[in-house]
């Protein structure tokens, strides 16, 4: 197939890890007979420096015209001033909104040979394979908010509103349930229905959609505080987890610690139609930028998600994932994954190893 892929390398180590993922994508195209056309555009801090905005119009236009978008990372100390009117993260929020990317997918799995990296006991994390679906464009982060004089006369009071509609809940639940059908056929919905009215609506809609549309998929409801505990005490009990924006923000960050390194975890942001946005979950790591030691595997695995979800190339996606696992099984490590005083490879060398494994 022919596909247009927009690259948003961004800041810090973003350009370094994105470059390796692009090399892998071109290797996939060559092996499987595809044509991937890539173009690079600015977002985040580098866009602020060049254009005064975190998401230039030409970047957004290119993204909208593409089949998929691969992002590196945004941000850094240079743009972290609390008084700044324009911040790198605004580019991410705007592109998600403009593209209607309401679902954030974050797979969390523990590679057998890297169980020792986890801060938890091997018997707890061995076999972990969770797929989170976080609603991305609603809830507390996007509801009405503000600051006003406090009613008790003590100064000010601030408020943020958590709000969800039936339709917003239905669409994320359907995506999660459809994914579960291709996995272990279990969906866990996380809410706070014992306290929050919005969670009670979430639970009612979840239960109705699962009963009427996905009777073949096992479903359960768990309160968010219990879910936070179960992620640590019995993470292998989860298959697909679906939840609202803030709960998902917190739980996916907690879950990212199960494998012991964020350098192995990708994510995808999807909408009802149009291009998806794919990225590693790690930040821009400005302290190691330009040294050639960044771990590119999360971004390479994000490119596998791009192949699977936007280009519908399941065989190719599985081949990339298998190549990454093969390289790790052979004992190759980047600096962040290596044991103390153990040998490790640089960013481009890891890319070379994955490409070599892809050809086998």
The CATH number assigned to the domain holding 22 equals 3.40.718.10
Confidence at residue 142, expressed as pLDDT on a 0 to 100 scale:
87
Q: In which band, very low, low, confident or very high, does the pLDDT at 179 lie, cut at 50, 70 and 90?
A: very high
Task: Quickly state the pLDDT bin for 231 (edges 50, 70, 90).
Answer: very high
Q: 146: closest CA among 137, 136, 157, 154?
A: 157
Q: Does 347 lie in the same domain as 284?
A: yes
Domain boundary among 206, 234, 257: 257
More confident residue, 77 or 113: 77
Q: What is the DSSP letter of 217?
A: S
Contact in structure between 24 and 303 (CB atoms under 8 Å): yes
Ramachandran region, residue 185 (left: φ > 0; alpha: ψ -120 to 50; beta: rest):
left
The closest alpha carbon to 134, from 23, 244, 251, belongs to: 244
pTM of the model: 0.91
Report pLDDT for 204: 98
**Confidence band for 258, pLDDT divided at 50, 70 and 90:** very high
Residue after which a domain boundary falls, among 226, 257, 288 = 257
Sign of CA dihedral 47, 48, 52, 53: positive
Q: How far is CA 113 from the centre of its chain?
A: 23
In a domain, 348, yes or no: yes
pLDDT band, very low/low/confident/very high, at 32 (cuts 50, 70, 90)? very high
| 139 plus 240 within the same structural domain | yes
Please, what is the average pLDDT of the chain? 95
pLDDT level of residue 339 (50, 70, 90 thresholds): confident
Kindly state whether residue 158 falls inside one of the protein's structural domains.
yes
Same domain, 140 and 245: yes
Task: State the Cα–Cα distance between residues 146 and 162, nearest whole angstrom.
Answer: 13
Answer whether residue 340 shows pLDDT above 90: no
What pLDDT does 260 receive?
85
Q: Is the pLDDT of residue 164 over 90?
A: yes
Q: Are residues 354 and 273 in the same domain?
A: yes
Residues 183 and 216 in one domain: yes
pLDDT number for residue 113: 80
Sheet containing 276-280: give its strands across.
35-40, 2-10, 68-73, 276-280, 266-270, 103-109, 129-135, 240-243, 186-191, 218-223
From 2-16, 290-304, 330-344, the region with the lowest mean pLDDT: 330-344
Residue labelled with tokens 């992002």: 71
Q: Highest mean pLDDT range out of 89-103, 143-157, 198-212?
A: 198-212
With bands split at pLDDT 50, 70 and 90, how would you rate the model's confidence at 315?
Answer: very high
Instruction: Please tell me the predicted confidence (pLDDT) of residue 132.
Output: 98
**H or E segment and range at residue 248:** helix 245-255
Same domain, residue pair 201 and 151: yes
Number of domains within the chain: 2
pLDDT tens readout for residues 241-251 = 999 999 999 99
Residue 113 lies in a domain: no
Catalytic center residues: 141, 192, 225, 249, 253
Clarify whether residues 20 and 46 are in a common domain: yes
Residue span of the structural domain in which 188 resides: 129-257
- Section 321-336 average pLDDT: 94
Q: Which of 197, 228, 257 is the last residue of a domain?
A: 257
The reply to whether 253 and 272 lie within a common domain is: no
* Rounded mean pLDDT, 31-43: 98
Residue 41: per-residue pLDDT: 98
């Amino acid at each position: 197939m022919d596909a247009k892929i927009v690259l948003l390398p961004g800041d810090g180590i973003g350009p370094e890890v994105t470059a390796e993922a692009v090399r892998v994508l071109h290797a996939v195209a060559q092996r499987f007979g595809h044509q991937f056309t890539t173009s690079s555009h600015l977002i985040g801090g580098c866009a602020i420096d060049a254009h005064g905005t975190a998401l230039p119009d030409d970047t957004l236009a290119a993204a909208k015209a593409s089949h998929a978008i691969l992002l590196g990372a945004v941000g850094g100390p240079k743009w972290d001033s609390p008084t700044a009117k324009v911040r790198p993260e605004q580019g991410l929020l705007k592109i998600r909104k403009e593209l209607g990317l309401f679902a954030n997918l974050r797979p969390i799995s523990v590679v057998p040979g890297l169980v020792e990296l986890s801060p938890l006991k091997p018997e707890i994390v061995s076999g972990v394979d969770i797929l989170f679906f976080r609603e991305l464009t609603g809830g507390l982060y996007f509801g009405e908010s503000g600051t006003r004089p406090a009613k008790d006369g003590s100064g000010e009071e601030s408020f943020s509103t958590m709000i969800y509609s039936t339709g917003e809940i239905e669409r994320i639940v359907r995506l999660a349930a459809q994914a579960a059908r291709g996995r272990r056929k279990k969906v866990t919905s996380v809410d706070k229905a014992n306290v929050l009215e919005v969670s009670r609506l979430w639970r009612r809609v979840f239960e109705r959609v699962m009963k009427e549309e996905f009777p073949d998929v096992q479903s359960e409801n768990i309160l968010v505080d219990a879910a936070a505990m179960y992620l640590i005490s019995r993470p292998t009990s989860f298959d697909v987890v679906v939840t609202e924006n803030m709960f998902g923000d917190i739980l996916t960050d907690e879950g990212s610690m199960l494998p012991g390194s964020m350098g192995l975890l990708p994510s995808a942001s999807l909408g009802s139609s149009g291009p998806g946005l794919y990225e590693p979950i790690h930040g821009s790591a400005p302290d190691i930028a330009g040294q050639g030691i960044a771990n590119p595997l999360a971004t390479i695995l994000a490119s596998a998600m791009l192949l699977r979800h936007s280009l519908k190339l399941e065989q190719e996606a599985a081949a990339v994932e298998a190549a990454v696992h093969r390289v790790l099984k052979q004992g190759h490590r980047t600096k962040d994954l290596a044991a103390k005083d153990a040998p490790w490879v640089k960013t481009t060398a890891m890319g070379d190893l994955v490409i070599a494994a892809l050809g086998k």
